[in-house]
């Protein structure tokens, strides 16, 4: 054991010399690998001219701290946003439970839903699942049939043609939308919520909340079926 230790200690100066030689041959090593400065131990008492290394290391750590603070602030903001949406979904669920007539359902979709999710425009479109064979000729049905079959909400920016199909004349000012699929045994369709802000319904929005909303609305449509909402 002691012999092995002596061998290890004897190898150490050679290893250090190799490191020193490599750094001398590559003076820009720390510039190309700044992550090393975040973990190495730089003593405060160094030969003259080395103090800048300490300053650089401190600067790197400050930048890392600022980045982590921004990331934490973003996570906290997203968590608060999620909590707000969960509370709104809960309130909508309670209102859905009390609905007994188609006009009540339409009022919730037209008035309550846009306010709850900050929408500037709303569209509800339903199709009979066993309707005429040419129903797929409807531009909306043709555009979103495959999407609806995935049972997941979709959020993101809209192209002008898509916005026009969804929201008609209002689509000219709509820049982003949340599209929520609806599925029952007798009907299928979509609810689209639009906003004039391109980032309001962003692709990284809380898709699971909107998908749950679609499931709740679909379940209510099973007991309170409607044709359309004016």
For 15, the token pair is 């290893």
pLDDT score recorded for residue 138: 63
Tens of pLDDT along the chain (230 residues)? 444 544 444 455 668 888 888 888 888 887 788 777 767 766 555 445 445 666 767 777 888 889 999 999 988 988 888 898 899 999 999 999 999 999 999 899 888 999 989 899 998 888 877 655 445 556 666 666 666 667 788 888 888 887 888 888 888 899 999 989 898 888 888 899 999 998 888 887 778 899 999 999 999 999 988 877 76
pLDDT score recorded for residue 71: 92
Beta-carbon contacts of residue 142 (< 8 Å; ≥ 6 apart): 136
pLDDT score recorded for residue 134: 43
Long-range contacts from 209-215, C-beta under 8 angstroms, 24+ separation: 209/82, 209/85, 209/86, 209/89, 210/117, 210/153, 210/155, 210/178, 210/180, 211/151, 211/152, 211/153, 211/180, 212/89, 213/89, 213/92, 213/153, 213/180, 214/151, 214/153, 214/180, 214/181, 214/182, 214/183
pLDDT score recorded for residue 187: 83
pLDDT score recorded for residue 45: 53
DSSP secondary structure, 169-221, as one string = GGGGG--EEEEEEEE-SSEEEEEEEEESSTTTT-TTS-HHHHHHHHHHHHHHH
Give pTM, 2 decimals: 0.64
Residue 124 in contact with residue 191, Cβ under 8 Å? yes
pLDDT score recorded for residue 1: 46
pLDDT score recorded for residue 163: 85
CA–CA separation, 213 and 90 (whole Å): 10
pLDDT score recorded for residue 133: 47
Bridge partners, 179 (sequence order): 154, 192
CA atoms within 13 A on the CB side of 69: 6
pLDDT score recorded for residue 90: 93
pLDDT score recorded for residue 225: 83
Q: Looking at domain 101-223, which CATH architecture does it have?
A: 2-Layer Sandwich (3.30)
């Amino acid at each position: 054991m002691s012999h092995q230790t002596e061998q290890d200690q004897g190898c150490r100066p050679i290893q250090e010399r190799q490191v020193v030689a490599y750094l001398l041959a590559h003076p820009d090593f720390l510039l190309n690998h700044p992550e090393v400065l975040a973990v190495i131990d730089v003593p405060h008492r160094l030969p003259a001219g080395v103090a800048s290394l300490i300053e650089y290391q401190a600067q790197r750590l400050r930048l890392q701290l600022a980045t982590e603070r921004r990331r934490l602030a973003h996570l906290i903001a997203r968590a608060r946003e999620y909590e707000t949406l969960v509370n709104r979904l809960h309130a909508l669920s309670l209102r859905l439970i009390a609905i007994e007539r188609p006009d009540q359902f339409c009022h919730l979709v037209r008035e309550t839903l846009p306010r709850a999710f900050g929408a500037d425009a709303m569209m509800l479109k339903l199709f009979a699942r066993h309707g005429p064979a040419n129903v797929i000729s409807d531009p909306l049905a043709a555009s979103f049939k495959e999407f609806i079959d995935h049972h997941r909400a979709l959020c993101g920016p809209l192209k002008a043609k898509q916005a026009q199909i969804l929201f008609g004349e209002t689509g000219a000012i709509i820049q982003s939308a949340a599209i929520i699929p609806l599925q029952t045994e007798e009907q299928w369709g979509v609810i689209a919520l639009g906003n004039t802000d391109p980032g309001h319904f962003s692709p990284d929005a809380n898709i699971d909340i909107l998908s749950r909303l679609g499931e709740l609305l679909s379940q209510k449509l099973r007991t309170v079926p409607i044709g359309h909402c004016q």
